[in-house]
Amino acid sequence: MKINSIRNGIVIDHIQAGRSLEVYHLLELDKLDCSVAIIQRVKSAKMGSKDIIKIDKNLNVNLDVLGYIDPGITVNYIKDGLRIQKLHLELPEELTDVIFCKNPRCITATEQEITHIFRLADREKRIYRCVYCETEGKNIRK
């Protein structure tokens, strides 16, 4: 199979195999007015297999969402057919409006306009805690 390179845009690479559709939906790429290619289960010497997303447009991608989903993801910015920047993501120290608090007594449950903020509590276990009530957060906001 041949997948052409893009002239200007973004390549999200090193996505864990089978997780590209999750990334596609969370970044709301279906709402874009450009070509988006999802390539699944590509052979990779480093990962065994991986997924790749190519976006034929330059846009602001929520790097916190990507880092939370999979801290091994890389984001490549392409201009005039050349990679001009490559970002290696990691778990963000703080997440804002990415995950939500499941504690029904948290202020975020009663006050609709409050920003959901979580701080990384344990990097190894990938645990984030609500800044308001210290409840562990895992659920991605949709």
| Cα-only R_g, the chain | 17
pTM of the model: 0.82
pLDDT at 123 over 60: yes
Q: How confident is the model at residue 92 (pLDDT cuts 50, 70, 90)?
A: very high
pLDDT digit string, tens, across residues 2-59 = 667 889 999 999 999 999 999 998 888 999 989 899 999 999 888 899 999 999 998 8
**b/e burial code for range 42-81 (CB count within 10 A of at least 16 → b):** eeeeeeeebbbbbbbeeeebeebbbbbbbebbebbbbeee
Q: Could you tell me the two tokens for 32?
A: 């874009």
* CATH of the domain spanning 9-88: 3.30.70.140
pLDDT at 47: 87
pLDDT at 5: 81
Q: What is 94-137's CATH number, 2.30.30.20, 2.60.40.290, 3.40.50.2020, 3.30.70.80?
A: 2.30.30.20
pLDDT at 44: 87
Q: What is the DSSP string of 6-48?
A: PSSEEEEEEEETT-HHHHHHHTTGGG-SS-EEEEEEEEETTTE
